[in-house]
Amino acid sequence: MLIVGREISEAVGVRGPAFGAGRTYSHAIERAGGVPLILPPLEFSSSRARDVIHRVDAVVLHGGGDIDPARYGQRPTTDELYGINARHDAAELAVVSAALDRGLPMLAICRGLQIMNVALGGTLIQHIEVPDHRNEFHDVDLVPGCRTAEAMGTTRPWRCHSFHHQAIDRLGRDLLVVGRHADGTIEAVETTGAAWVVGVQWHPEDNADTEADQQGLFDELVRRA
């Protein structure tokens, strides 16, 4: 299972800056029977990204800072933007495109959902002012029969931990909205193709160790792989 990593400015046990990813993603993959592999966010050409993708069975796109609005044809419209990193954007966009072209199973989480939407021509709300989305647990209403609901075993997961201030605005091509917050915020999307490609705006890895429905997303990703 490929996880696109992050540049880390502070790390213990190494000399200088490092690359890494949150442990909870790897633990959730491991519980599902998969082996997590962290890919440093180096510069990737399309051909190099395709070569990497042909060596793995699935992809997890995880949370992080904001995507540069220029990537979806906009200028910054808020002072709330943070954590923009051109190398993170470029690496993930290349990996998403290669994974979609190959038809790999993919689970896109929080920023991951947003980068997938941008890769498919969509745009983002640069800052949402509504409550319930910053370090909060909330319900999500899922479309019955969608891949997300089937993986989670419910159409209304109720302990979805959100930590974001952006959301999908214009939906990317070949994406379907399959889940929303009560305030209308898009919380889950899926591709229309045959591959198992699911994006969620919340962080299932945060409580997947105690909530079977959240762990179910990782279990199904590994099963599909």
pLDDT one-digit tens code per residue, 47-59: 999 999 999 999 9
| Number of domains the chain is built from | 1
Q: pTM of the full predicted structure?
A: 0.96
pLDDT value of residue 46: 87
Domain of residue 216 covers: 2-224
Selecting among 62, 88, 110, 146, the annotated active-site residue is 110
Examine the residue annotation and report whether 203 is marked as an active-site residue of this protein.
yes
Exposure string over 127-159, b if 16+ CB within 10 A, otherwise e: ebeeeebeeeebebbbbeebbbbebbeebebeb
Report the C-alpha gap between 146 and 2 in whole angstroms.
Answer: 24
Selecting among 92, 187, 190, 205, the annotated active-site residue is 205
CB 71 within 8 A of CB 89: yes
Half-sphere exposure of 63 (CA within 13 A, CB side): 20
Examine the residue annotation and report whether 110 is marked as an active-site residue of this protein.
yes
Q: Which CATH number characterizes residue 149's domain? A: 3.40.50.880
Cβ neighbours of 24 (radius 10 Å): 16
pLDDT value of residue 129: 86
pLDDT value of residue 132: 84
Q: Which of the residues in the chain have pLDDT under 50? A: none
Report the C-alpha gap between 72 and 147 in whole angstroms.
Answer: 27
CB 191 within 8 A of CB 139: no
pLDDT value of residue 10: 79
pLDDT value of residue 5: 95
